[in-house]
Amino acid sequence: MKKALKIIGIIALVLIIALFLTPILFQGSIEKMVKKAANDNVNAQVEWSSLDLSLFRNFPDASLSLENLSLINKAPFEGDTLLYAKEFNLAMGVMQLFKDEGLSIDEMYLNEAVVNIKVDSLGKTNYDIVKTSEATDSSNKEAEKPFQLNLNHYEINSSRINYLDESGNLYLKLRDFNHRGDGDFAASVFTLKTHTDSKISFDYDGTNYLKNNSIVLDADLKMDFETMKFSFLDNEAVVNQLPLKFEGYVQVFDTYNEMDIQFSTPSSDFKNFLALVPETYASNLDEVNTTGDFTLTGSIQGKVDETYIPKLDISASSSNASFKYPDLPKKVENISLEVEVMNETGLVEDTYINFDKVNFRIDQDRFTGSGKIKDLTTNMIVDFKVDGVLNLANLSKAYPLELEQDLNGILKADLAANFDMNSLERQAYENVSAQGSMQLSKFDYTSPELAKPLHIEVAAVDFTSDAAQLNNFEMTAGSSDLQMTGNVKNILGFAFSDQPLRGTFNATSTQFDISDFRVESEATSTSETASGTTAEAIQIPKFLDIVLNFKAENVKYDNLTLNNAKGSLALREENAILKDISADIFGGNIQLDGKVSTANAPNFDMRLSLNTFKILEAFQQMKLIKGLAPIAQALEGIASTTINLQGNLTNDLMPIYTSLSGSARAKIINAQVDQNKMPLFSKLNSQFDFLNFDKLKVNDLITEFNFKNGAIDIDDFDFEVEDIKVDVSGSHNFENSMDYKLSFNVPAKYFGDEVGGKLAQLSSADLSTMSVSLPVGITGSFSSPQIKVNTERAIQSLTTQIVEAQKEKLENTVKDKIGGQIDKLLGGGKAVDSTQTDTTQTKEGAIKDILGGIFKKKNN
C-alpha cells in the first residue's frame, strides 16, 4: 500500500511539474505561431504587450492569453484603432499543445474591449481587414492553418462598441456591453443560445433617438451556415423595462440581405408605455398604479442593399389610460396615444411618422398635440399642433423626474405650424405656415452656475410664419431687474435645421448687477488649471446672430459702478460687437466701441474714451489704468483719455497684458501731486533739496504713448515744478518695471548761498538768468525706483555758461579801459602800460574748480 501511494505521489509530482514546465517549453513557439497567423491573415497592425500560456486558468483546458491586444488600421483608415482589448483569451484542450498541426480553439473571451467600426462617406469600411486569397502565397494554399475555430463557447465582457456610418449619418454606441454564446460552431447547422445586455445610444441625421437606454436580449438562434440563414427561435428582449417578444429570420446573400421580423408586447398593460422611458427617469414600475392599455406591435420585412431598407409597420396605441406613482401626490390621467412609423416601399425617403393624438391631464391642466413627419431623408415636411396649459410644478409631483431644481411656473401654448426643411434653409418663409402663442409666467430657476435665483414674471411670445415676437419679458435676479421686447426672425430654422438664431431685442433695467448672474470661480490666467488640466474656455455661442439694444440706469460690474449705461451689443459668428456704449463713471463719462472674438484664440479690439474723469478713482478701480499709467496713483484731479487697444484673452476672457498693443492719448486737465502715494516722487524730493512735488500743479498736460507686447513707450513731454522745467522720455511695462530719462532745467540760484557768493566773486554775473540742465536716469520699478544723476554733464553746462558770461564782461572791461587810455592820450598824453596781461584763461580755470566742488558736494 505504501509503495502504491508512493508511486501515485511520484506521478502527481511529475504531473504538477509538467503543468509548470509545459507553458515554458511551448510558449515561444506558440507566440511565433500567433504572430504568423496575424501577419498571414490580417491586413492591419497587430500588437500585444505580452503573451501568456497557462494550464491552470481554464483547467483542465490550456489557456492562451494576449494582454493589451490592439488592431491598428492601415490605409485608408491608417492609424485608427479598430480594436483594443485589455485581455484576449483562448482556451483549448491540453493535448492541442502536442499536436504537429494547427491549434483547435474551443472557447474565446474578450475582456474590457473597445471596438470602433466605421463606414466612411464613400462606403469604405475599416473592418474589412481579412487578406484575400490572392494576397497569400499560392504555394501555401495547401499549408495547414495555424488555428481552427471549433468554438463551443465565447464571451465579450465589459466592453464598448462604436459604430459610425458617415454615408448614412448614423452613430450607434453600446456601453457596458456583455454578450455570450454557446453552440457547436464546428457544425454547419446548429442552435446558438445567446445572452446580451448593454446600454445603447443611437443618433441619426443629427437627432438623438436613444440615450443610454438599457437592453437585455435572450435569444436562441438557428444558425444555418450552408444557406447563411439565421432564424430567431425562442426570444425575449427588454428595452429599458419594456418586454418584447419577436420572431423571424435574417438571411445573407452576396449582394443583399433579407429579413422578416415581427415583434410585440406580451401584454397590453399601460406599464408597457412607462417602460419605454429610460429607467433612470421612470424609476421602478412595480408599485405604479395604472389603468387603460398600451400596445406596441411591429414588422420589419424586406431586403436591404444600397437602395432599399426593410418595409416598416410599427404602431403604438393607448386610450383613456392613467398612472400614479405611490409616493407622489399627483395623478396623470385621460391619456390617449396613437403613433405609427411606416414605410410601404422600402425606399428610405418614404418613411413617415404619424402622431394622430397625444393627450393627457394633470389636475385641471390639459395638454393635447398631434403631428406628422414625412420625407425624412429628402425635404422633410413637418406638420404639428399643440394646445394646452401646464403647471410645471405638477410634473415632478406626478412623475419621478430627477432634476437639479424644482420646476415651477405656468406654461400656456397654442401653436400650429407646417413647413418643409428646404424652405427653412432658404429662408423662404412664404412657404412656412405658423401661428399661435406661448407664455411662461411665475417661473423660478436656480443653478450652480447662477449666484442668485432667477425669476421670470412673464415671457410672452407670438408666432407668425417668419418671426416670433417677444411681446413682454420681465425678469429679476437678486437686486437686478430686466425688461425686454423684440423679435426672432427664424425660430423654426433654429429649432429644426441648425440655423443661427437671428433677432433684435430692446432691453431696459433700473439696476443690473453682474454678480447676481456670475458665480466666482478660481479661474487661472492661463488656459490650464492648477491640476494641469485645460480649463473650459468661455465661448460666444456660434448659433446666435442677435442685436441687443439696452439702457440701464445703474450697472455694477465687479467694483465698477456705471450710471445711465446705454448702447448696442451684437452677438454674431462667435463675436461680441460693442457699438456706441456709453455710461457715467469716475465722475465723468466712458464711451466704448470694439469687438471680442472667440472664433479662434480669444482676442479683442477696443476703442475706449474716458472724458473728464477723476484720475484717482479710475486708477483704484481699473487695472488697465494701473498698468498704462502707474503714476496716476499720486495724482488728484481731472483727466481725459482715448485708448486704442488690441490683444489676446485668457479662456475666461481676461486680458493677457503681455500681448497688448495699441496707442493712447491722455490729457491731464488739472491735477496736483501727493508725493506720499508714489515712492518715485518722494525719492526725487529727497535726492534734490530744490524739488518739492507737493507744489506741482499740472494743467492741460498732454501725453501720448504706444504699447506693444506689454511695453509702453511714452512720447516726449514736459511739465514744470514751480520754475523748474522737467523734460520726460522713456518707457515702462505692465509688470511695473521702467526705464525713463528726465532732464531738470534748474536755475543756478538753487545751488546755495555759498556757491552763489563764490560765483559772484568771480563774475558778478546775474545768477537769475543762469540755469543748469540736470540729466536724471530712473530704472527699477515704480514701487522701488533707482535714480542716477549725471553731474558731469551739469558741471559742463554751468561752466560753459559762466565762462561765456565772464568773457563778455572782460571784453566790455577791456573796451572801457582802452577807451579811457585814448582819452588820456588825447588830453595829456600818458603812455599805456604795456605789461598788462589777459586774465581770462585764469578765471575760466578757477570757475571749473569751484563748480566741480559744488556738484561733488551736492551729489554726496
**Segment 730-773, tens digit of pLDDT:** 888 888 888 888 888 877 666 544 444 444 444 444 555 667 77
**Beta-strand (E) ranges in 464-559?**
468-477, 480-488, 501-509, 512-513, 544-557
More confident site: 272 or 692: 272
pLDDT tens string 101-157: 555 778 888 899 999 989 888 878 888 887 765 544 544 444 455 555 678 888 999
| Residue type for position 567 | G
Inter-residue contact 355 to 336 (CB < 8 Å): no
The answer to which of 183-192, 304-313, 449-458, 834-843 has the lowest mean pLDDT is 834-843
**Residue 149: per-residue pLDDT:** 61
In 3D space, the residue among 103, 110, 118 whose CA is nearest the CA of residue 26 turns out to be: 103
Residue 459 pLDDT more than 80? yes
**Residue 22: per-residue pLDDT:** 46
* Average pLDDT of the segment spanning 521-528: 44
Residue 566 pLDDT more than 80? yes
How would residue 182 be classed by pLDDT, with cut points 50, 70 and 90?
very high
43 contacts: CB under 8 Å, gap ≥ 6: 74, 129, 130, 131, 135
Backbone angles phi, psi at 259, to 5 degrees: -140, 155
SS3 624: helix
**Residue 238: per-residue pLDDT:** 83
More confident site: 739 or 722: 739
**Residue 284: per-residue pLDDT:** 66
Q: Within 13 Å and on the Cβ side, how many CA atoms surround 460?
A: 6
Backbone angles phi, psi at 616, to 5 degrees: -65, -40
How would residue 395 be classed by pLDDT, with cut points 50, 70 and 90?
confident
What pTM does this model have? 0.61
Distance separating alpha carbons of residues 635 and 845, to the nearest angstrom: 45
**Residue 817: per-residue pLDDT:** 61
Residue 703 pLDDT more than 70? yes
* Average pLDDT of the segment spanning 6-10: 43
Residue pointed to by grid coordinates 409616493: 327
842 contacts: CB under 8 Å, gap ≥ 6: none
Encode 360-387: b = buried (16+ Cβ within 10 Å), e = exposed. Answer: bbbeebebebbbebbebeeebbbbeebe
**Residue 437: per-residue pLDDT:** 92
Distance separating alpha carbons of residues 218 and 238, to the nearest angstrom: 9
Residue 158 pLDDT more than 50? yes
The answer to which of 3-7, 93-97, 554-558, 614-618 has the lowest mean pLDDT is 3-7
**Residue 506: per-residue pLDDT:** 94
**Residue 834: per-residue pLDDT:** 42
SS3 800: helix
How would residue 824 be classed by pLDDT, with cut points 50, 70 and 90?
low
More confident site: 604 or 32: 604
**Residue 433: per-residue pLDDT:** 83
Residue 8 pLDDT more than 50? no
pLDDT tens string 619-642: 888 888 888 888 887 788 898 999
More confident site: 52 or 526: 52
Residue 349's Cβ-count burial label (10 Å; 0-12, 13-18, 19+) is middle
Reading the block at residue 698, the C-alpha cell is: 499740472
More confident site: 103 or 570: 570
Neighbours of 62 (CB within 10 A): 26
In 3D space, the residue among 212, 207, 220 whose CA is nearest the CA of residue 240 turns out to be: 212
The top-scoring range by mean pLDDT among 80-94, 196-210, 361-375 is 361-375
Residue 10 pLDDT more than 50? no
Residue 659 pLDDT more than 80? yes
How would residue 838 be classed by pLDDT, with cut points 50, 70 and 90?
very low
Percent residues over pLDDT 70 in the chain: 75
Residue 502 pLDDT more than 70? yes
**Residue 17: per-residue pLDDT:** 41
Q: What is the mean pLDDT of the chain?
A: 78
Residue 288 pLDDT more than 50? yes
Region for 194 from its dihedrals, namely left if φ exceeds 0, alpha if ψ lies in -120 to 50, beta otherwise: beta
Inter-residue contact 438 to 463 (CB < 8 Å): yes
In 3D space, the residue among 548, 771, 508, 732 whose CA is nearest the CA of residue 630 turns out to be: 732
**Residue 630: per-residue pLDDT:** 84
**Residue 389: per-residue pLDDT:** 92
More confident site: 534 or 156: 156
Give residue 508's Cα distance to chain centre.
Answer: 30
Q: Pairing state of beta strands 81-92 and 229-239?
A: unpaired
Distance separating alpha carbons of residues 389 and 439, to the nearest angstrom: 10
C-alpha distance from residue 594 to each of 555, 603, 606 (Å): 19, 11, 4
The top-scoring range by mean pLDDT among 65-69, 422-426, 520-524, 677-681 is 65-69
Distance separating alpha carbons of residues 211 and 239, to the nearest angstrom: 12
